[in-house]
Structure 1
Amino acid sequence: MIKYFAIAFLCLFAVLSACTEAQEEPSTQQLINEIDAAIPQAAKQDDQTLFWKNMLNQDRYASDDVAKASINYQIGKSFAPINIDSAEIYTTKALILIEDIEGFEKEKTAIYNGLGNIAQRRSKTFLSSFYYHKIVSILDANPSISTISAKNKMRFYLHSAQSNTQIGLQESAFELNKKAANYMDSIPKDDYLIFRLYAQLSFNGYKKKVDIDSLRYYLEKIEQNSNLDEHNIFYYGNKARFFVHNNQFDSARIYFQKVLKLKLKNEYDTFENRYINYCNLLQINIKIGKISEADSIISKLSEMEKDTSLYLSLPSRQLFAEAMMNYYYQVRNFDKYHEATEKVLDLKDQMQKEAEIQAKEEMHTMYQLEENKKSIKNLNQSVEATENELQKTKYFLAITILTILIILAILAILYYRQKSRKLQQEYEKVILEQKLLRTQMEPHFIFNTLSTLQSLIRFQEPKKAIDYLNRFSRLLRSNLELSRQEMISLEDEIETMDNYLGLQQARFEDYFTYQIQVPDGLEVDALFIPPMLIQPFVENSILHGFDGEQKWHIDIKITELTEAKQLQIEIIDNGVGINTVSKKNHKSLSGEIAKERLEILSKKYKIPTDYQIFSEQGKGTTVCLKLPIIDGFQQN
C-alpha cells in the first residue's frame, strides 16, 4: 500500500513539476517586454554592444526567434555609429529570424527602418527604398495598428517619401507625404517631423507641379516651423524654387544668396551642397541677364571643380554644365554653346551608366539577402524534417530560375531604355543643329522683310503694307511657338509655309508664283511632322533656283501613301536647276540635317523614310521627302 502510495506521490510530483515548468516558460510577448524594458538600462552602459550580446547568450531567449531578432536588432543599432558593416550584419540576422513570422509589426518595421537607414548611409537608394516600402506595406495593410506610435508611423512614411524622391518618383513621394500628414494632430506642433513634412511637401509638390496656392501654403508652414539655421536652408531653398516656378527670378536670386550666406556646422554644410547652390544662383543670374555676376560665380565654380581632393557627383556637375550651356547661349557664343551641350549629353550618359551599375549591384544585394534567408530556412527545416529536402530543393531551383529570368528581363528593359535614350539624344542633337542653322538664316530674312515693309510704306501702299505686316507677324509667332516643339501638325506647317512664301512673293514683287496642294480629305490637323523640315528647301528654291529673267513657279505637293504608311512632300520649282559640277563638290547643310532627322524618324517609328533631289539644269529642281505618317496618338 505504501509502495503504491509512494508511486502515486511521485507521479503527482512529476505532473506538478511539469505544470510548474510549463507555467514558467515565458511567452514571446513577455520576452519582448523584457527586452524593451532593458533599453534604458543598456543606454547607461559603457559598452552597449556587450550588454546586448550577453542577453543574447542567455538560455531564456535561445528558443524564441522573435526575441533573438529583437536583440540582434539592438546589437546592430549599437554598432551603427561606429561600424556600419557590423550594424548591417546583425540587423540582417534580425530580419532573417523574424520576417516570415506572422505579426510583430512593431519589431519588423524597426528592423526594416534600420536596414533602410544603413542603405541610405551607403548611398544605395534603390535598396533603401525597398526596405522603406516594406514598412509602408505593413502600415497600409493595417493603418490602425496600435503597437506602432503615430510619431513613428509619420517618420516611416517620410523616410519612404524621401527615398522615392531620390530615385525620381516624386508623385509617389507626394502621396506618401499626404499619408504622413494624417498623423500630424497626434504629435507636438513643434516636433521636427512637422517641419520635415512641409519641407518634403513643398519640394515634391514643386516637382509634381501642384497649384501655386498649395506651394505658398507649404512655404508658410515651413516658415512657421523654422527655428534653426538647418531649417532655414530648406526654407530658403524651397522659397527660391517657388519664385522660379512663379517666374519671379529676382526674388529667387535673393533666397539662393541667403542659402549661401548660412554658416552651418552639420551634414547640410557640405562642399557639394554649396556647389549646387552656386549652380542654382548662376542659372538665375543668367536668366535675368546679370552676366558680370554670372562670370564671378563661374570663376568660383571652376575653382571648386579644380579641387580634386573633394568629390562632386555627376548630377552636380551636370547642373554646372547646363548652366554653362545657357550662359554661352545668352552671350551668343555658339561654338562654346555646342561644346557645353556635348558635355551635358556626355554627363547624362555617364549618369545613366552609373545608375545601371548601381541598380545591378543593389539588385544583387537583395538577391543575396533572399538567398541567405532561404539557406538558413532550409538548414532549419532540414534539421526538423529531412524527408522534405527534395521538395525544398525543387522550390529553391524554381525560385532561382525565376529570379534569373527576372534579372534577364530587367537587363533587357535596361538595354531597350538605353537604346531609346541614345536615339532621343541623336534626335535632340539634330534638332539643335537645325535651330542653329535657322538662327543664322533668320536675321538676313528679317532684315530683308523689314526693308520691303519700309518700301511699301514709303511708296504709300498701306493695304499691301498691312497685309505684309500681318503675314510677317504670323510667321514670327509660329516660328517662336513651333520651333520649340518636337513635332507639329501638318496644318501648322502649311500655314507657316504659306506665310513665308507670301512674304517672299511680295518682297520679290511677284516675279514668282506658288501653290500648296493638299488632297481632299487629308486630315492635316491630325498628322504631325518635325518642325522646320520644308522651309530650308523652299528658301533654296527662291534664293538659288530663280535668276529673275522670267516668271517662276513653286509647287508644294503633299500626298498620303497609305499602303506604305508614308507622307510624301514634294517641293518643285521650274528654276535654273542645280549645276552638276557644283552639286558634286558641295553638300547642302540643310539637306544633310534633314536626312539625319528622317533617319531618326525611321528608327523611332519603324517606317522607311526617303530624301531625294531630282534636278536638270535649266529645267528646275524637285525635292522629294518621304516620312512616316504620325497621327496624334503616336505623337503623344
Structure 2
Amino acid sequence: MYKVVIVLSIFFLGCFTSFSQNSPANYSFEIKGSVTGKENRAPISGVRVTTSSGGYTVTNGLGEFKIKAFIGDQLRFESTEFQTVYHRIQGDDDVDVLVQDYVQEVKSNTDIEAQSTIRSISFTDSASYYKKINIDKSIDFVTKAISEIGPRGDKKALAKAYTTLGEIYQYYKQYDLAIDALTAALAAEKSTKTELLLATNYLLQQEFLNAENSYTKVLKKKGISNVEKIQAYEGLGDAFQGLKRNKSAIENYTKGLDLAKTSGISSKITDLNSKIGDALVADDNIEKAQVYYGNSLQLSKQQTPQRAVQEKEKVADFYNQQNQFDKEVVLRKKSLEDLKALQQPTARVVKNGPVGINSDSISSQRIKYKIGNAYLLQQKYDEAIPFLEESIKEANDDDDLIVQKDATRKLSEVFEYKGDFSKAYETYQKYVALVDTLYIRKEQEISRAARFNREITTKQNRISGLEKERELYQSKFDLALTSEQLVERQKWFIYSLVFGIVLLGLTTYFFYRSNRQQKLANNLLALKSLRSQMNPHFIFNALNSVNNYIAKSDERSANRYLSEFSTLMRAVLENSEEDFIPLSKEIELIELYTKLEHSRFADKFEYTISVEEHIDVEAYDIPPMLLQPYIENAIWHGLRYKDEKGFLKIDLKAKAKDVIEISIIDNGVGRKKSAALKTTHQKMQKSKGMGNIKKRIDILNDMYKDTVDVFITDLYEDGTGTKVIFILKKR
C-alpha cells in the first residue's frame, strides 16, 4: 500500500475569512488542480476525481483536472496507484495532490498492460457518465479507452468499452451502429448483459428474426438469473409480435409473467400483463385482452406515478379503438390528475410504445386533445370545445406543433358541425398556417438529422481505424514472438535471412490489404454520402406533392397519398443502406412510385410496366433507387410539359445469358425542349441529381466489376421523347 502525502497550495491573501462569510453554501465554482508524484513531480493520468455533491472527472495526460464544487464539498481522488485520498473544499483555490513513492517508470510489459487497462477502464467510466449529457465527449472517451488497449490488452476492458459504445449509440437511436459495437464486444468477451443489449437493438432496428435468434440463445444458456430470463422471454415475445406471430408472442409473455410472479418482480408483472393485452388485441381476442388490461391498470397503481400514467393512456387508446368513448374519457381525466400530481413545470411522461416505433411523450395537451376528440366522436360538441381550446393553448406554450395542429383541425370540425362556419373557417386558416410551419420545421429536422449522422459516421470511422490498428499491432506482436522462438533453435544468420524475407512479405501484404481496405472504405463512405443526398431530394419532391394536395384543401387525397407514400418510404429506407438489392424489390418500388405520380398527373400520361415471363428477377441484384430518378425525369421533365396525354413504358427483357435490358421510354417533349423550359435552379438540381447517379454507378462498377451500364438517347429523330437503357449483369 503506497503512503500518501497531500500538499495543498492555498493562498489566503488576507481576505479568505470575508469570502467564506459572504459566499452562500449553494454557490458552485470551478476547482482546478493536479495530481503528481512527490519524488519526481511526474503527472498521474486517469485518476478519478469526484465530489460529495455528485461531480465527476478524470485527470488528463498532464495529471490536471477541473471540476465544479461547492464550499464544504469533499473531493475524492481514486486510482490503483495509491490509497484513496480525500480533501474538504474551503475556498476556490487550486488543489495540488502530491503522491509519495509514486514511480512513473514500469518494469515489465505486464506492468505496461496493467496501466493501459486501468486507463482504459477509467475512460470507459467517463464515457458512461457523459452518455446522456454530451455524445461528442462520450464517444471521444470510448475512443481513448480503445486506443489504450494494446495488442495483448485486456479483453474484458475492450468488451466493456465496446458495450458502452453500443449503449451510447442505442441512446441516440443509432441502432445499426449499436449492433456493430455490441457484436465487437461479444467477439472480445461473451456476456449475457451484452447479448441482451444486442437482441434489444435488433428489436429496435426491427430485425425481428435476428432478435428472435439472440433471445433464444440467451434462454439456452445455463446459470442466467431470473431477471435475465424474464427479459429474454419478454424480448422474444416482442420479436414474435413484430413477426405477426401473436400466439407465440402470448406464449412467451406468459412464461415471463409466471416467472416474474414467482420472483416477485412487480414492475415486470405490470409490463407483461399489458403486453399480453396488446398481443390479444392483435389476435382479435378483445374480451380476453380487456381482462389483462384491467390487471395492468390495477397493478400500475402500485408503480411510480409515471408508470401509472403510461398504462392509463395505453388502455385509453384501446378503449378509443373499441369505440368505448365514455371509458376512454374517464381514464384520460384520471391521467390529467396524475400529471398534475407530478408537479413538474411541463408535465410530460415518456410513452411506452411498440418495439422499434418512436412514440410521442404523454403530455397534458395531448391528453386534452384526445378527450376533445372522444367527445367529438360522441357528437358532444360543447364538451369537446374547452378541451380542444386548452390543448391548443398548452401546445402553443410548450411549442408542440403536432398537437397544436391536430387540435386546431378538430376544433375547426367541431365549429363546422355546430353550424358556426365563420369560426370554423377562421380556425381552419390557423390550421393551414400551422401545417406550413410544421412543414418548414420538418425540413430543418431532416437537415439536422443528416448532419448528426455525418458527425457520427466520422467518429465511428475513427473507432474502426483504431480497431484495425490494434489488430495490426496484434499480428506484429505475434510475429515477433514467433521470431524469438526461432532464434533459440536456429542459427542467427539463417534465421535473420528467413525472418527478413517473411517480414518483407508480410509488410507488403499488410500494405496491399490496408490499401484495399482504405479504398473499399472510401468507396463505401462515398456511396453512403451519395445515398444520403438522394434520399432527402426524393423525400422533398414527394412532400411537395402532399403540400400540393393540402394547398388545394384536398385532405382525402393528401391522406391517401401519404398512406401510399409511407409504404414507399418504408421500402426506400429499408433498402437505403444496401449497395445492391434484389431486382424484384426495385420493381415493387418503381411500381409504387409510378402509381403515386400517376395519381397526380393522370391527365398527362398512361404507363405500363412489363417483365418477360422467363426472367428470374430474384436472381438479379440492382443498386437501390437507381431506376426511380430516370422515371421521375420522364414524368416531370418530359410528359408533364406535353400538351396531349403521353405514355411511359418500362420494359424488362433478356438480352443475353445472365444479362437483361431495362428500358424506360417516354414520348414527352424531349431533353432539348425540357432543358429550355427549366429555370436556372432546376437545371442545377437536375445536373446534381444525375451526377450523383453517375458517380454511384461508377463506384459500384469499380467495386463489383462492371455490373451496370446506362445509355440515354432521343426516342424520335425530331428530338422528342427519351429512351433510357440499363444493361444489368448478374453478379
Counting helix residues as a fraction of each chain, which structure ranks higher? 1
Larger radius of gyration: 1
Counting strand residues as a fraction of each chain, which structure ranks higher? 2
TM-score by length of 1: 0.50
